Amino acid sequence: MENIRNFVIIAHIDHGKSTLADRMLEITGAVPKRLMRPQYLDQMDLERERGITIKMTPVRMIYRPEPDQEYVLNLIDTPGHSDFGYEVSRALKAVEGAVLLVDATQGIQAQTLANFETARKAGLKIIGCLNKIDLNPPDLEKKVKELANLLNEPTERIYRVSGKTGEGVAELLKGIAKEVPPPRSDRGKQALIFDSVYNDHKGIIAYVRVFSGEFSAKEESSLMAADRRFNIKEVGIFSPEFKPTEKLSSGEIGYIATGIKDPGVLRIGDTIGDRPLEGYNPPKPVVFVSLYPDEGDKYDDLKAALNKLRLVDSSISVEPDYSEILGRGFKAGFLGRLHFEIATERLNREFDLPVIASFPSVAYRVKTKSGVKLVESPKDFPDDNFGAEEPVTSLKIIVPQIYLGRILGLKDIFRMEIVGTEVIDDRIVISATMPLSELISDFDDRLKSVSLGYASFSYEISGWQEAEVAKMEVLVANEIVPGLTRIVYKDELDHVARQTVEELKNLLPKQLFAQPIQAAVGSRIVARETIPALQKKLGYFGKTGGDRSRKMKLWKKQQAGKKRLQASGRVTISPEIFKELLKK
């Protein structure tokens, strides 16, 4: 084990983690040059299209700094967006070291600080590294000093690299081999499950870090928390594709194919072996959405798809739900708005299951006659309540000082309260609080817009606060659309109701029948608009020689058909319309 080094790369989004990992793969020869492609460890098309890492990806590299030296480097590439922080926390528990990567053109950002604190609390050896030095930033030495002060290290200990050109990457690899401590072993057989995938032939494949003992194919083992015995079908390493090996030994990171076909059996954080390890704290979803299959007979397919998706993303919570209009579905919990968007897109692409999603909402603690009730779905929000509390977040925003005025301009729009400020050279760190419901609207987009893309933020749930809110329902063609039911602030009710019906009038396509759009609170209609029916051209009877009575007969026939449609017609709201309505 003395030659094994387990480490992660952690950074703010877009600071070049995946590109740096590419250069490491090239230098160590883990991937042949003819097969190399940019962002090699980002395996999903969705990751490449959006330019972000969504899933942690492990890989084993053989590194030879000298002809007579050989190290096994187990790297886990992690996401940078705060919505995927649970991925990062799981990866940190499987390693002994972390490379804290900072973009030399941007400096320390909000998620840099969040990741640093998480790695520090995990007791990891943290190596500071500045990326993108090929761009020759004029204040490079100032950024080096910033990072050195954060890590409480001399500036000489901060590595300078270019993930694009490869400059300095060899020195960084040497530093990892020298500074990251080797793993330690314990008695018994213990392997911590930090991720998993499903395979039709091999069943559930568990991604593991072996803390003690050895595991081989065809031997019997068990899931400790699930109390389930199984025969190991295969063990192996990530190269970065699955590569079978004879055994997995203490200190190594690899995979164990369990052969278990029931996705609900295995839980992330469980232990394979004979002695349980301390697992992970279960993630707490903060954004709740009801999901229904696009076609009513696809409920069982959606259930199976969600179970398989939870194997690769254990932070999603799922429970059955029902709508009188949309039928059977599921109430799903996510760690943020981006997390929700990515999950629904994966259902569509990977399982060919487009879904109808409700309006994203947060949980409320509502006071009722029978006591305090936790309400996670807007349609379950009781009208006869005695008050409600909403979750509130603690925010850290890092922005150049010249944009401070613009950031403060967002205070009233998003109910943000400034707690304090701290100056770091030419930038300012703003500490603030904000209701979570405001954060999951388009705060991220507005923040980037007013700061021209220079601001970054991280957040965490900090508690609850009193909220003056009410349930607003939307009726289209005289039917309540469950997905559009929202919890809104009472002082914004008239504005939100008017805005919603006007936007729906512009967004919804015309039908062959008139569509009244109403926003209601209880029995009170707050706002109304009507989308007129499509008009069918019936020709120019009476002008071009035709008899006008023929036109009147067709008109009456059309009106009778529209009355029938008015009684039975239904309107479907697409996910794109929900996204538009999310914007402030």
pTM here is 0.78
If you average pLDDT over residues 434-439, what whole number do you get?
91
**In this predicted structure, what is the pLDDT of residue 235?**
96
Residues with Cβ < 8 Å from 520, sequence gap 6 or more? 472, 473, 474, 475, 526
Amino acid identity of residue 27, one-letter, is I
DSSP state of 441: S
Closest CA to 97 of 7, 157, 5: 7
Structure tokens at 32: 């042949």
The 10s digit of each residue's pLDDT in 137-174 is 888 999 999 999 999 999 999 999 999 999 999 999 99
Q: State the Cα–Cα distance between residues 147 and 454, nearest whole angstrom.
A: 18
Residues with Cβ < 8 Å from 221, sequence gap 6 or more? 189, 215, 229, 230, 231, 232, 256, 272, 273
Residues with Cβ < 8 Å from 436, sequence gap 6 or more? 286, 362, 390, 391, 392, 393, 461
**In this predicted structure, what is the pLDDT of residue 583?**
58
**In this predicted structure, what is the pLDDT of residue 425?**
75
- Mean pLDDT, the chain, whole residue set: 87
Residues with Cβ < 8 Å from 407, sequence gap 6 or more? 397, 399, 430, 447, 450, 451, 455
Which helix (DSSP H) or strand (DSSP E) does residue 423 occupy?
Answer: strand 417-424
Domains of the chain listed by start with CATH number = 4-179 (3.40.50.300), 190-273 (2.40.30.10), 287-360 (3.30.70.870), 388-467 (3.30.70.240), 471-582 (3.30.70.2570)
Residues with Cβ < 8 Å from 560, sequence gap 6 or more? none
CA distances from 295 to 298, 321, 355, 404 (A): 6, 16, 8, 48
Residues in the chain: 584
Asked if 414 contacts 434 with a C-beta cutoff of 8 angstroms, the reply is: yes
The 10s digit of each residue's pLDDT in 83-142 is 888 888 889 999 999 999 999 998 888 888 888 988 999 999 999 999 999 999 888 999
Q: State the Cα–Cα distance between residues 560 and 56, nearest whole angstrom.
A: 59
Burial label for 373, CB within 10 Å (0-12, 13-18, 19+), is middle
DSSP 353-365: --EEE---B--EE
